[in-house]
Structure 1
Amino acid sequence: MKNLKIAAAALLPAWIVPAQAGAIRGGSALLDTGGHAQLERWLGQGTFDLSKVYTRKDGDSSVNFHAAADGRGPTFTLAQVTNDTGRSFLVGGFNPQHWSSTDGWHNTPFDSRRTGFIFNMTEPALYRQLPSGYVLPSQGEHQTFNGAGFGPTFGTGHDLFVNTSLGVAFSWQVTYGKPLDSGLSIIDRSLGGQFVQVDALEVFTLSPIPEPATWAMLLGGLALLGGAARRGRFIH
């Protein structure tokens, strides 16, 4: 399959060939190739490129995060954090909708929309939105919270929250994971959660890599266009 993709791409004009599969455009201080592959497995939608749209800088606040990430569609957020024992973790979440500074809760009453997840890549561990079949159907409903005074925030707990200064994070499971784990932190599994220091924060958009069949269709379309152009020259 990979060889077919390479062969197809080689026949295309340079301006139409996409970046290499699995590329992290803009680079990353937090995510390597193995981490990227883990995100692909968790999302389960094939191979995709990541494009970095935000890196926290000194003096940044939630205003800067929203200016970079709002309205950009689905995103991955990654944060390097340190707890009070000095242990570091790489945590984050997938927002399948979009970030906003004004929307408030992005609610997902139906299971078909509960496709967000948060994760601890250091463990590694994955926490998906609770389905509506649990005793409290609305427990898994609040996918993200979107407000100007909030950094990237997932779930009601909040299950993963970054504050206004983007320097502090918190985790208290409610919306994501198992109901029996409610009240635990996805960061260090402490009960009741705890505030941790955010050392780095990055946000990425994602774009799927076309499969070989897609390339074949594109090549066929280009061939038809070329044939039509040649026929047009003969007619004139």
Structure 2
Amino acid sequence: MAKLLPRLLGAVSLFILSAAQAQTPLLTPSDIAQLKTWLGGSFTLVRLYEKQDGQTAADFHAAVDGKGRTFTVMEATTELGQTFKVGGYNPQSWDSSDAFHITTEDASRTGFLFNLTSRQIHRQTPRTYALDTVGSFQTWNNPQTGPVFGAGHDLYVGWDLTTGGYSSMYSYIDPARSDFDSSLLDGRDYKSPNITYGEMEVWRVFAVPEANAWMMLVSGLCVIGFMRRWSLSTGRQFGPSGQEPLRIRRALT
């Protein structure tokens, strides 16, 4: 019972989080629905980070490192003044290891980049004879940069989280098109850093239990309530096994 209660409380917390679905001016209900379609399955989002004026990569990593899988969503403006809502799904935790997260096999290449303005998705490039390692570079985890995806870099955010950004597709391309060096924003070929970032948010992804799991949760809470009321009315307490009152066990010994 002592081990079961924390699990049930954790499930209750997740239920509350899922009931209050994530929504901000940057991440709209329509955006969330689209992300659910792309990722598949049911999930809820909890915001880990929202960029504030003057913040740097240090603030980003302090908020998101080691927190599990996430969506990063941001406003990105080109030198032509066009603004797009773009980002990426990182199935692993961000960290500050100054190294790539390498995903050798296709089964682990589950990250993707997205453009919510154009409703386009770019998944990690699968292994082929000609492009064996291209898609292996999932994310770049450097304490001096913000979120960085791919080896192109496919989506790059610098130290100040605002200026000097760029997109040069490499690890998240369609093998049939081989659109290397194109931009996630508008598809143009990369020439130099040309992206300025505005709003930026990082959301942690929590899986939502299926209906039968919720039924088990409710049943477990009912059992706990019954045992507590029985204990108060009889003056007995259940031991760790939840089967034998401590008073009886002591009498037997």
TM-score between the two structures when normalised by the length of structure 1: 0.86
2:111 matched to which residue of 1?
116
* Root mean square deviation, CA, Å: 2.1
Give the counterpart of 1:18 among 11, 16, 29. 16
Q: Which residue of 2 aligns with 1:190?
A: 188
Corresponding residue pairs, total:
220
Q: Provide the residue aligned with 2:171 in structure 1.
A: 175
Task: Give unmatched runs, 5+ long, in structure 1.
Answer: 1-11
Instruction: Provide, for residues 105-146 of structure 1, a one-character-per-residue CA deviation record: whole Å limited to 9, x for no partner.
Output: 100001111010001110010000011135121110010000
Between Structure 1 and Structure 2, the one with more strand by share is 1
Residue from 147, 153, 166 that aligns with 2:161 = 166
Q: Which sits farther off after the overlay, 56-65 or 89-98? A: 56-65
1:28 paired with 2:27, answer no
Aligned to 2:71: 76
Measured against aligned partners, the alpha-carbon deviations of 1:194-213 in whole angstroms (never above 9, x if no partner) come to 52111111111122233321
- What do residues 69-89 of structure 1 show as CA deviations (whole Å, max 9, x unaligned)? 111111110110111221110
Match of 2:34 among 29, 35, 38: 38
Residue pairs, 1:37-186, within 5 angstroms? 37-46=33-42, 48-168=43-163, 169-179=165-175, 180-186=178-184
Contact 1:56 1:202 in 2 (8 A): yes
Instruction: Structure 2: state its 5+ residue gaps.
Output: 1-8, 237-253
Q: Distance in 2 between matches of 1:44 and 1:111?
A: 17
SS at structure 2 position matched to 1:51:
strand
State, as a whole percentage, how many aligned pairs show the same letter: 38
Shift of 1:45: 2.1
- Partner of 1:205 in structure 2? 204
TM-score with structure 2 setting the length: 0.80
Distance in 2, matches of 1:97 and 1:116, equals 9
Larger deviation: 152-161 or 100-109? 100-109
Distance 2:80 2:226 in 1: 68
Partners of 1:136 and 1:165 lie apart in 2 by 33
